Structure 1
């Protein structure tokens, strides 16, 4: 059974449906690549997926060790290159209102983030700049 079912809606827009939950995602080509830029672009989703995956793995480690991640937030910056057009760098800036202060736990969370499945799956030519502001 497929995980995702997708279709092309025209005008450089796609729709993808997560089969198990029915959740839908629409994408547009970005304005700088002939699109409307009204939705996430596919490369935006890749960049967002990196940060979301990192936080998911951090959350698993935190829950296992009795740490609450409430107040953790992040911003993602995607840097594109041309010729060929592809993601050159993904910058993730994490902030945490009330971070855990134990150095070993902080390091454990950072290590967990950097070894998430998306981070390990991205081509090594895509620079991953991860800033933990806590």
Structure 2
């Protein structure tokens, strides 16, 4: 069974449906590449997927070790290169609970950096990941 079924809606927009759940995601080409910029661009989704994957794997590790990550937030910033147009760098900045000790922090940071998306991206894409323990 496919993971997603995608339909081109015209005007540089796609609608992707997650087959198992029926959830949908729209994409638009970005403003700087002939699009309307009214939804995630495909490269925005790649960047968001990196942060979401990192957080998911940290969540799995946290549950396994009885750690509470409630309230953790993160921002993702994508940097594009030209000729060829591609993602050159993705910055992920996590804000996690201050109560985590040094051993727990190391465990979570290693989990984030070894998530499946991080390991799947082309090594030419720089992944700058910061962990702020101030929540």
2: CA distance, partners of 1:99 / 1:108: 15
Task: Report how far residue 113 of structure 1 moved.
Answer: 0.2
Q: Normalising to structure 2: TM-score of the pair?
A: 0.97
1:123 aligns with 2:107: no
CA RMSD for the aligned pairs? 0.7
Matched residue count: 133
The alignment's TM-score, normalised by the length of structure 1, stands at 0.97
Q: Distance in 1 between matches of 2:91 and 2:84?
A: 20
- Structure 1 runs not aligned, ≥5 long: none
Contact 1:100 / 1:106 at 8 angstroms: preserved in 2? no
Structure 2 unaligned segments of length 5 or more: list them. Answer: none
After the TM superposition, which segments of 4 or more aligned residues of structure 1 sit over 6 Å from their partners?
none
Would the aligned equivalents of 1:67 and 1:100 in 2 still touch at CA under 8 Å?
no
Measured after TM superposition, the shift of residue 37 of structure 1 is: 0.1
Shift of 1:69: 0.7
**Matched ranges for 1:39-54 at <5 A:** 39-54=39-54
SS at 1:56 equivalent: helix
